[in-house]
Structure 1
Amino acid sequence: MGCPVRRDADGGWTITGYPAGRALLRESATVQAGLGVETVDKMPASIRRPVLYRDGPEHREHRRQTARFFTPRRVDSYRGLMEHVADEQIARLRAAGTVDLADLSFKLAIDVTAAVIGLTESRPGIQRRLERFFPEKFGRPGFTSVNGIYWLFRQIANWSRIYFGDVRPAVRARRTERRDDLISHLLDEGCKNTEILGECLTFAAAGMVTTREFVVLVAWHMFTDDALRRKYLAAAEPERLGILHEIIRLEPVIGQLRRRTTAEVVLPGAVVPKDAVVRVQLCTANLDPDVAGAEPLDLCPGRDMPDGGLSFGDGAHKCPGSHVAIMETDIFLSKLLAVEGIQMVSRPRVTFKEDIATYELRGMRVSIAA
């Protein structure tokens, strides 16, 4: 691991130790410095930023008011929906014979997250619209090249498709009659349609795209480790959830978070100056042997490290939907892996998005043996 807190040659700071990483993420004298904040900063000042890109009292108050959508009791109320969607995806597999697991897991994550947000009046094709908005390969929009112009207009078109196909129908329905979901809450706060679009896309990235990858990742572990798969299928739900938390500790979908300090910050082992960009390497911090214990590189269910370490972040910006993601993954995979004859036909293709330190798994095909 080396030094747990160090200053890099580019002037930024990197944290690889767990105590320092958690302390930085819990520090109030920091603001968001990653996950596309540079693009959001170019938005007109009159448009309210999505919650992911806000900090301070306004952010804390928003999180306090929306916490009810993600409490353990509320998450448990989505269980019936998760069961239904999981059964639908397994039925798709049975009908097709062989499918790309990422396709099934994305549909699962879309339907569950859409219910939490309130995107329940979408026109047909939401999965296709989201796949276009979050492609495997991104281009950089701009006016200085043909490729940049292409990606600029493609981005505008993708925003428009999701707005007219998903967000506007949901907003119209809730202006007529409020419901107990996020979009209704945003309307009560006086948000404009464009601001609601931004919040919905933020939750789509956090709740749909990352869950798609995690489901495939866990399935890959299970298909290549017979002992782990048997242990998982024989376990009660609390133990199964523990296995999922241990997997995400080892391989967090988002491997790095960045923050910028707004004042001098004192961390275990270092003092970080004001206006410093700090990279918290979650994937390394979770391997800190002082916290993870012995053999931190091994997959050891039952490890005394709560909720997957820092894999869902920490502090004010900790992922509010972590319990949703873990539960829907467990419900889907406990059903899928129990199907008689289920097998992996091809391993996934692994790619990385360095700008947001995440991985993508595509092409993992599963089938049911005759």
Structure 2
Amino acid sequence: METTLPLERPDPTTPPARYRWLQEHEPVARVVGADGTPAWLVTSYELVAAGLADPRLGLTPPGVEVDERASLFRDGPAHTRLRRLVARAFTPRRIAELAPRIETLADRHVAALVAAAQDGPADLVDLLSAPLAVGSLGLLLGVDLDDHPRFRGLVDDALRADPMAAAGDPALLAEAERAWGALTAFTADLVVAARERPGDDLLSALVQIRDADDGRLGDGELVALVTVLLAAGGLTVQGGLAVAVVRLLADDLLAGLADRPDVPELVDELVRRAGVEVFPRWAQEDLVLGDVTIAVGEKVLLRLEAANHDPARFADPEALRPGRAGPHLGFGRGPHHCLGAALARVELTAALTALSRRAPGLRLAVPVADIPWHRGEVDSGPMMLMLRT
């Protein structure tokens, strides 16, 4: 039976039931996308993990040139160089030093959410998820984004105008290009300011990086890198936090969370269930994945959500079980593993802990089925999440 995307999903917080059948019978399946184009859909944990680490699966079709400024979306030596340079500034120590400030930021936004909820349903996305994601990235980059009221609007416009979803619509594509162009111009101004007035922050460190073999990050590379961090990091945490709250409220786990000794492990389980995806891959040469031959140039969809709910890897995968043995794929794997994984964990832990302490009695204002949901090619989550006390 031919599989057509998107798959039916009666519950937005639960993977499509079709994944289970595919994992058992056809873990690498031929599918047709919503735009009518064919692809291979990979759903088993073992094969998704293998595909993420396979250099023969790249982020662009073979023969397609990628602007040198978009090195994060390149493969091979160009991408390796960028990751090596960025890793020298994007350190665990830097993230750990930010943790107390992110906790303070989370507590402030939770207090605003709780105050608003006293007068009726309040939107967690608008009052907590989005401003915490933006504010935390500002702390990381050394930019007080509260002083840039248009910044969040720029990010929101760019994220709504998904270039991948707009590919077949000239009007939508033009709007996506306009929105991303505006965000890129804003980012370019941040890079110029960091060059002129460097401080003790990630952006200043990136600006000053030099390497005997690799030179330095050019302005184009810096702008592209910071734009991706702002946009992708903002949406991932915004959606991931909202999904986590839905899950915790559904399982009656929010109250008392702050006093649990296994909060990091619980957060890791919430990341496993969050449903973030990776960009499509393209076969750079003929290869075999599982027992399926994939031809050069064919599109491959490595589904993290399916892999992270594979019963062959995770017993009772729908349950939240902190401390599960072995790693999940919530932040990807291989050369394109998420740069902001450590920051995302800090943000989620800070927000959920603050919610548990300040508002243990929060509850959903509408049934889960009535929550408006954004589901893009990569990120997904509630567009708004109304809560009441």
Distance 1:298 1:80, change over 3 A: closer
Moved more, 90-99 or 214-223: 90-99
Shift of residue 211, structure 1, vs aligned partner = 0.4
Shift of residue 230, structure 1, vs aligned partner = 4.4
Which residue of the other structure, out of 286, 289, 300, is the alignment partner of 2:321?
A: 300
Letter in 2 for 1:319: C
SS in 2 for 1:13: strand
SS in 2 for 1:114: helix
Shift of residue 330, structure 1, vs aligned partner = 0.8
Moved more, 13-22 or 133-142: 133-142
Distance 2:299 2:330 in 1: 20
Residue 269 of structure 1 is matched in structure 2 by 291
Distance 1:58 1:117, change over 3 A: farther
Say if 1:75 and 1:324, in contact at 8 Å, map to a contact too.
Answer: yes
Distance 1:142 1:5, change over 3 A: closer
SS in 1 for 2:381: strand
Shift of residue 22, structure 1, vs aligned partner = 0.8
Residue 138 of structure 2 is matched in structure 1 by 114
Which residue of the other structure, out of 136, 152, 156, is the alignment partner of 1:127?
A: 152
Q: Percent identity?
A: 24
Segments of structure 1 that go 5 or more residues without pairing to the other structure are: none
Distance 2:312 2:296 in 1: 29
Letter in 2 for 1:248: V
- Corresponding residue pairs, total: 347
Say if 2:45 and 2:310, in contact at 8 Å, map to a contact too.
Answer: yes
Residue 259 of structure 1 is matched in structure 2 by 281
Letter in 1 for 2:140: V
Distance 2:331 2:236 in 1: 11
Shift of residue 240, structure 1, vs aligned partner = 1.2
Residue 206 of structure 1 is matched in structure 2 by 232
Letter in 2 for 1:233: A
RMSD: 3.2
Structure 2 counterparts to residues 1-370 of structure 1, below 5 A: 1=23, 2-8=25-31, 12-33=39-60, 47-97=67-117, 99-103=122-126, 104-120=128-144, 123-135=148-160, 140=166, 148=171, 152=174, 154-155=175-176, 157-159=178-180, 161-163=182-184, 165-177=186-198, 179-182=200-203, 184-186=205-207, 188=209, 189-192=216-219, 194-226=220-252, 228-230=253-255, 232-236=257-261, 239-254=262-277, 257-292=279-314, 294-306=315-327, 309-340=328-359, 342-347=361-366, 349-354=371-376, 356-367=377-388, 369=389
Distance 1:283 1:191, change over 3 A: same
Say if 1:119 and 1:166, in contact at 8 Å, map to a contact too.
Answer: no
Letter in 1 for 2:45: Y
Shift of residue 118, structure 1, vs aligned partner = 4.5
Distance 1:15 1:151 in 2: 28
Distance 2:42 2:184 in 1: 38
Letter in 1 for 2:52: L
- What's the TM-score once normalised by structure 2's chain length? 0.77
Letter in 2 for 1:276: E
SS in 1 for 2:312: helix
